[in-house]
Chains A and B, each alone.
Chain A
C-alpha cells in the first residue's frame, strides 16, 4: 500500500491541453475510480503515473516520494491495459512472470508467485497457452494477473473490463473487489461505466476535458452531483432534466410542473426568476392516486420492463417527457392519465447557465439515493 499525489499536472500534445493543472490525492489502500467520457484525459493521467509519458508541469509523488523524473521500471507500479497488451510471443505463465523476473526472484519464487495470482484469477489451467489461444476473458485475467504478480503497492487499471463481453464484465465487477482486497494495494481504476465506478470505487473522481469535475464517495456523487453533466452520467435510466423558473417562497422556492406548484425547501431565494433546470431521478418519482396533495397529472406513453425495475415514459400537461422508475412487480399506473408525486428532498436544482448544482441550506441529500 502506498499513497499517490498529483500536484498541478499539466500535459499538452502540440497545442492541445490534455490535462489542465490537475491535482489529485489518493489515500493509502484506497480504490479511486477515474470516471469520465473518452477524451477526458483518464488514460493520459494513468500513463503519467506509470511513467511512460512525462508531464510538462507538476509533480507526481508515490508514497510521498517525488517520482516525476523516475523511469517507469523504478516506480514499483502494476498496470493493466485496456487492450491487455500481452506479450504475444510468451505464454500466459511467462507473461505473468515478467514483473517477478525483473525483481530477480528465484525460479521457485517466480513459480509460486505466478500460481498465486493465477489461482486468484482462476486461470491456472491455461498458463501454458499463448495469448493467441486464450479467450478474451482469459486474456483480460492474464493481463490483470501480470499487473498483480509483482505485488505492487500501487495498481493502475486502465478500463480493464472494456474489451470483454457484458456477462464477463458483470462477473468481474463482482469478483474484482475480492481480488483487489486480497492484493491490498492502492488502486487507481479508470472506467467509462458508471456502474463499475459505483461498484468498485471507495471514491470516484469525475473527469472531463482534462479536469476533475467532482471527487467524492459514490453516494456523494449520486446524491449531490456537482453539475448537470455529472447528474446525467450517473443513473440508469437517466435523470429527468426539465427547464424551470423558480418562484420565491417562504422557505426556499417553488417550480411549476404540469402547472402544479412544487416547493423545494432550502433553495436560496435569490434563484427566483432565474433560468434553472430541475433534476428528478426516475426512482425518486412514484405514481399516486388522483387527488393526492401535490400530485402532478401526466399521461402515460410507454412502459419498459427492465428486469428488476419497470420504467414508464410519461408526458406532463405541457408535453415534457418524464421517466418514472419503480421496482418490478409493483402495480403500475392505468394507461392514459395518471398522477405522480415528487420527493422534493431528492430533487436537484441546477443553474441553467453554468450547469452548477444550487446548494441547499442545511443537509438535504436525498433519502432514496441508492446506487441503481
Chain B
C-alpha cells in the first residue's frame, strides 16, 4: 500500500491573508478525504486552525513544530 498523498500549503511568512485563510482556500478546492499539511511560522495558527477545523467538522490529524515552523495536518471530511 502506497503512502497517502499529502498536499503541502506553505504559508510561512504569511501575514495577509494568513495561514488559516490559505488552509480554507485549499480545502475548498480539495477532494473529500484528502489530507492537507499547512506550514506556518505564526504560532497563533497552532491554536486557531484546530478551533476552525473542529467547528467546521474536518479532522485534525496532528500538529508539531520543527525549527520554528508548525506543521498542521488536516483531513477534509465534508
Question: A and B bound?
Answer: no
B interface, CB within 8 angstroms of A? none
A interface, CB within 8 angstroms of B? none
